[in-house]
Amino acid sequence: MSEPIGEIKKSTSTHARRVIAYIVLIILSILCLFWFYILLIYSTRSNGEIQKGITFIPSTHFVENFKNLVNSSQPVFQGLRNSLIIACSSALLSTYFSTLTAYAIHVYDFKLKKFIFTFILMIMMVPTQVTVLGFIQLMTKMNLINNFIPLIVPTIAAPVTFYYLKQYMESALPLALIEAARIDGSGEIRTFNTIALPLMKPAIAVQAIFTFVSSWNNYFIPTFILKKEKMKTIPIIIAQLRSSDYLKFDMGQVYMMITLSIFPVIIVYLILSKHIVSGIAMGSVKG
């Protein structure tokens, strides 16, 4: 009789922990989604209604705010296109070349391997604000002002992305697998693209999301690089909407612009999240 009682107690304890975990997850989800709900609510209110204070009930000015934003002096759709080009290119190049760098450090043995790894980690400690003046001067001399290249190409060297992928690769990419591919006659580039990359999909998806969001929200560097009206990105447009003249200032337009800017991020997350989930499921099966 003691064994069934013990099993019942164990099952009850497991069930209780699961219920607590679900409750905590639900609370955290509500806290995270609450601010998106508030943003959507504010995008439906007029400037006068927003000034009155907080409310949780939608208003009827969503279409009006959208029309006012489109008819404003800001290049809204051009800004969305520019931000998409920069963010997608940055995410693609950063994750691919960071994975390639991590692969080289993980797979090959050479004299300066430890030094290079440490040097890359040291670069992580250098803030962007310290190097921005020299960077802008260099871009000016190279005639790359009002060009997307200075916002895309430097993302190839991403120490944080490299470090995360390197740590993930140590647990997900056994060296024996690479050696087996070499014995079978596979070239190094083919081995990387057909074996390493597929195994790294969950980590690449996570870093692609982070890189995309970071590039999408980047305001500091683009303000120095992009001067022309048609080159503006979303953060610059939002900042200029907020800094408008008091008589022209419309909070409804600002919230509508922020709402529009969030949808591409959500779409990218939904596209890449399936790789994260599949990677976690694969890891649990292996375990």
Q: What is the mean pLDDT of residues 184-206?
A: 89
For residue 75, give the DSSP letter.
-
Q: Is pLDDT at 9 greater than 70 in this prediction?
A: no
Write out 127-178 in H/E/C secondary structure: CHHHHHHHHHHHHHHCCCCCCCHHHHHHHHCCHHHHHHHHHHHHHHCCHHHH
Whole-model pTM: value is 0.84
Residue of 115, 192, 200, 189 whose CA lies nearest to 165: 200
Angle at CA of residue 114, ends 112 and 214, nearest 5°: 110
Q: Is pLDDT at 268 greater than 50 in this prediction?
A: yes
Query: CATH topology for 64-286?
Result: MetI-like fold (1.10.3720)
User: In 10 A of CB 97, how many CB atoms?
Assistant: 16
Return d(Cα 4, Cα 12) in angstroms, integer: 12
Q: What is the pLDDT of residue 137?
A: 92
For the chain, the C-alpha Rg in angstroms (whole number) is 24
Q: What is the mean pLDDT of residues 215-238?
A: 91
> pLDDT tens-digit profile of 36-80?
898 899 999 988 888 888 888 888 889 999 998 888 888 889 999
Average model confidence (pLDDT) for the chain?
A: 85
Q: Looking at 60-69, 85-94, 156-165, 243-252, which range is the least confident one?
A: 243-252
Q: Is pLDDT at 281 greater than 70 in this prediction?
A: no
Return d(Cα 175, Cα 220) in angstroms, integer: 41
